[in-house]
Each structure stands twice: as structure tokens, then as C-alpha cells.
Amino acid sequence: MGQYLAIFDCDGTLVDSQADIAEAMEAAFAAHGLIAPPRTVIRRIVGLSLGEAMARLAPAADAETAASLVAAYKDAFRARRAAGVVEEPLYDGIAALIADLAAAGWLLGVATGKSDRGLAHCLDRHGLTGHFMTLHTADRHPSKPDPAMIEACLADTGADRANTVMIGDTAYDMAMAVNAGVHAIGVDWGYHHPHEMIAAGAAAVAGSVAELRALLNARRTN
């Protein structure tokens, strides 16, 4: 049967980081004398690489301004982390789910729009790093929904596509899974609506961690 691989998105799937992202984005826009979009708009770009996200949030900005906004966002987020105010809490039940999947023999990975540094800090803070054998970020890959991050996870683990599941909270995650030819499961506690994820290719959208656990278990028994 081969080994099974579960690839998780991070922001909006493992951790609730929308407040930290919005604060840093607002600081980046303020540094340029600009008014940031509403947080309801900012939360919708979570998961994209920063360049793609900024193109959507500031479509009128020229290339130089857009690049400067990206740099200002990174600076603002680093400053928040240095000040000890980055929260990024795990969603309830996620830590136990990850531990249980690892104990059950699942290979685990992450495919995220975060930076390498941001992902490492997040996983270390929550004691999850040791459970994941493959980690891929926007630092080294094109933005979702390009399948490059999933392809890299498959290469790292040797898992078959048929035994691989991508778990995320956005249409970008689901489209990435479809583009890579792997199974897609959405979660409804993140930043996109379930109907958007279904439209993008999700086979199912879990309404709770318990339901996600059941969906993953079902993949191994089918």
C-alpha cells in the first residue's frame, strides 16, 4: 500500500495567525503613507506568497513600491516577533492530531506561504517540529496554487500521489492539490468559505479536528 503523506498548510490550518498578519500588513502600508485594505480583505490573501499577496492588496502600486511594501511587511513581522507579541495560537486539537498521525505512521509535511524562518519559529514554539519530515515555503517555491511545494514534499518522502493528502483552509490550497494530482481536504476554521474550497477541488471540508481525523483515517481504509 505504501506510506501515507499528509501535507498541512500552516496559517489558518495549524495556527490562527490572521491578527499577526493583519498587524504587520497595516504597519507596512502605514510606513508608505498608505491605508491598508480592511482586515476582511487581508485575511483572504493569507497563504499566497508575499509578492502575489501584495499585488492583490495594492494593485495600483508599481513594481518598486510593491517590493518595498513586501520588505516593510517582513520588517514589521520580524519586529513583532522580536518584541514577543506574535501569538499564532494552535487551533484546538491540532497538536494532538499531529502527534496521533505521526504515531500511526503517517508521513507529515507542511506547504505554506510563510517564510522558512517564520515556519521554523512557529513549529518550534508549539513543539511540533519533530513530527514533520518535509517543510516547504514561499521562500523556495512559486506561490500557491502552483504545485511546486507539493511536488517537493513528494520528492522528499517518496510517497505516492494516490496516498497523499493536502489539508488547508483556502481555495489556493485546494487548487494546489488538484494541480499536483493529490487528494484535497479543506478545513472550515480558517480564512476561506467551504463553498470556495469545494469549488477549487476539495473532496471534503472538515468542520472540526475530529472530522478531519475521521476523513484522514478513511483515506487509509479505502
Give percent of the chain above pLDDT 90: 97
9 is known as an active-site residue: yes
Domains, the chain: 5-16+88-221 (3.40.50.1000), 18-82 (1.10.150)
116 is known as an active-site residue: no
Strand 164-168 and strand 107-112: the pairing is: unpaired
> How many Cβ atoms are within 10 Å of 77's Cβ, its own excluded?
24
Are the CB atoms for 28 and 69 separated by under 8 Å? yes
* Mean pLDDT within 201-213: 98
Taking the C-alpha atoms of residue 9 and residue 111, their distance in angstroms, rounded to an integer, is 5
Catalytic residue selected from 9, 20, 169, 173: 9
What DSSP state is assigned to residue 105? T
For residue 175, give the C-alpha cell: 487548487
Whole-number pLDDT of residue 220: 84
Strand order in the sheet with 183-187: 134-137, 107-112, 5-8, 164-168, 183-187, 204-206
Assess whether pLDDT exceeds 80 at residue 178.
Answer: yes
Assess whether pLDDT exceeds 80 at residue 2.
Answer: no
Give percent of the chain above pLDDT 70: 99
DSSP three-state, residue 61: coil
Assess whether pLDDT exceeds 80 at residue 60.
Answer: yes
Cell 522528499 belongs to which residue?
Answer: 156
